[in-house]
Structure 1
Amino acid sequence: MSVACDQAISVAARSTRSLDLVASAVPGIHVTYAAGEEIHGEGEPAIYGYRIISGVVRTFRVLPDGRRQVEGFHFHGDVFSMELGINYELSAEAVADTKILVMKRSLIDTLLQNDPAVARELLMWSYQTLARAREQMMLLGRKSASEKVASFLLQLEINPGGEAVAIPMCRSDIADYLGLTVETVSRVLAQLERTHAIDLPSSRKIRVNSREKLAALAGM
């Protein structure tokens, strides 16, 4: 994965970056996960919290009809699956080869009881998580397919006019995040390329030519 890609932070991921006090104060171990490897499953006991050292993670749930709904993508520096309940609400998998700091939940709970600053930080993180969930509901419920894909590309914060960036997630990941089919995502990306808002050197590489065009297409 390129450095540019590893540092392309989505809105969903950026909102989880506020737990620096927790991650720096709680000892943990470094674990490496291969691309596609499960980190934890939905409904399993929430024994650990996680912070990404390098790589990308997707969090998701499988719906009753068997479809997958990707909740978000998490990047370098992000904390994820810091549950307030006793079980994980989502599953988590490595999108690419990923190194993670794994922290015991019991140590985090002890720190929260003894450090008011950490408790405030976790409360703010909870508010941000709720705000992110509302943003995702708006993205899925109110926007057209073209607006959803354009919004997603804006979230990646790829610098316009630079080199093409290899994004780690495949089109099925993007489709499951946006509530679309893979075919629709591919069709919209081709449309965006025809408008010269982006270039697609390959299925996993994107060059952003104009954030202004993307913003207009996203309805912003």
Structure 2
Amino acid sequence: MYAQASAKIELPSYLPQHESSSVFEGAIVQPVSFFSAGAEIYAQGEKAGALYRVEFGAVRVYRLLADGRRQISAFHLAGETFGFEADASHHFFAEAINATGVRVYRTPSGMDMSRHLLPLALKGLTRAQEHLLVLGRQNAIERVAAFLVEMSERQGGLRQVELPMSRNDIGDYLGLTIETVSRVFTRLKEKGVIRLLSLRSIEILKRDTLLAMGE
């Protein structure tokens, strides 16, 4: 893993909820590493064995398909942990979306961390199952609505939701084209469900409507 310095660091406008510190009990804590936008944190096939926590910024985890397309499997925001693997190698790439700080927790040789890692593994499994349910929806509006609700909940249920990822990232996560994602955002805006504050920030105006769309 390598770090890159960032000249400007923008902290999220919401306060992150750090995952249980019990996950890191006994781990070797390393200083925060800084990654610029697009910098690789680890690659598919690299040796695993460490946990990564986002201190600020955001991370996308993805795999390249045989035809060259990219499938994003997860986004990780400030306070969230990623990098857990069932075996000794990483099965995905991890990349900083914007200026990001990541703290690495390494497991001492011979130490059994299974008891601490179980909650993290179960949480990851739950999110993966929810993502599969979203991908199973045929309606693009349902997929985007469910995604926006999830992002809001992960940021404390705020009306104003930060979206550090691009529309292209969202499309690669939801199995949609960037054009479709953009059309859905415009349609939700026209219906008065959301307000587009910027390319990376929205305000949810009708939360109940958005929830109903995503169910």
Alpha carbons 2:60, 2:74 under 8 Å: kept: yes
> Greater share of helix residues, 1 or 2?
1
Tell me how far 1:4 sits from its aligned partner. Answer: 2.8
Q: 1:198 aligns with which of 189, 194, 211?
A: 194
Cα deviations by residue, 1:87-131 (Å, 9 ceiling, x for unpaired): 0011100111111111224x2x6442xxxxx53231232222222
1:214 to partner: Cα distance? 0.4
* Aligned ranges 1:128-143 → 2 under 5 Å: 128-143=123-138
Distance change in 2, residues 1:75/1:213 (3 Å): same
Q: Contact (CA 8 Å) 2:84, 2:121: kept in 1 or not?
A: no
| Maintained 8 Å contact 2:11/2:57 | no
Q: Is the partner of 2:127 in helix, strand or coil?
A: helix
User: Is the contact between residue 6 and residue 56 of structure 1 (CA under 8 Å) also seen in structure 2?
Assistant: no
Which of the numbers 12, 28, 42 marks the counterpart of 1:3?
12
Q: Which has the higher contact order (CA 8 A, sep 6+)?
A: 1
Does structure 2 conserve the Cα–Cα contact (< 8 Å) formed by 1:147 and 1:217?
A: yes
Q: CA deviation at 1:187?
A: 0.2
1:35 Cα offset (Å)? 1.1
Alignment partner of 2:67: what SS? coil
Cα distance between partner residues in 1 of 2:36 and 2:134 = 30
Look up the equivalent residue of 1:43 and give its one-letter code: G
* Contact 2:54–2:81 (8 Å) recurs in 1: yes
Q: Unmatched 5+ residue regions in structure 2?
A: 1-9
SS of match in other structure, 1:149? helix
Aligned with 1:156: secondary structure?
Answer: helix
Task: Give the equivalent residue in structure 2 for 1:102.
Answer: 104
CA distance in 2, matches of 1:189, 1:62: 26
Q: How does 1:139-150 map to 2 (within 5 A)?
A: 139-150=134-145
Q: Which consecutive residues of structure 1, in runs of 5 or more, have no partner in the other structure? A: 113-117
Question: What amino acid is the match of 2:51?
Answer: G
Which has the higher mean CA deviation after the structures are superposed, 143-152 or 22-31?
A: 22-31
For the residues of structure 2 that align with 1:79 and 1:65, how far apart are their CA atoms? 30
Alignment TM-score, normalising by the size of structure 1:
0.83
**Is the counterpart of residue 168 in structure 1 residue 167 in structure 2?**
no
**Secondary structure of 1:70's partner?**
strand
How many angstroms apart in 1 are the aligned matches of 2:36 and 2:52? 16
Tell me by how many angstroms 1:165 deviates. Answer: 4.5
**So what's the TM-score if we normalise by structure 2?**
0.85
Cα RMSD (Å) = 2.1
Superposition deviation, residue 5 in structure 1: 5.1
| 8 A contact 2:137–2:143 mirrored in 1 | no
Residue deviations 1:57-104 (CA, integer Å, cap 9, x gap): 111111111111111111122111121201001110011111111122
Question: Sequence identity of aligned pairs in percent?
Answer: 37
Q: How does 1:36-47 map to 2 (within 5 A)?
A: 36-47=38-49
Distance 1:124 1:201, change over 3 A: closer
Look up the match of 2:92: 90
| Matches of 2:57 and 2:15, distance apart in 1 | 6
- 2:115 counterpart residue number: 120
Distance in 2 between the 1:205 and 1:129 partners? Answer: 25
CA contact (8 A) 2:11 2:56 kept: no
In structure 2, how many angstroms separate the alpha carbons of the residues matched to 1:49 and 1:202? 33
Confirm whether residue 210 of structure 1 aligns to residue 203 of structure 2. no
Mapped to 2, the partners of 1:24 and 1:4 lie a distance apart of 29
Aligned-partner residue type, residue 155 of structure 1: E
Task: Tell me the equivalent position of 1:21.
Answer: 22
Q: Determine if contact 1:2/1:165 at 8 Å carries over to the other structure.
A: no
- SS of the equivalent of 2:44 reads coil
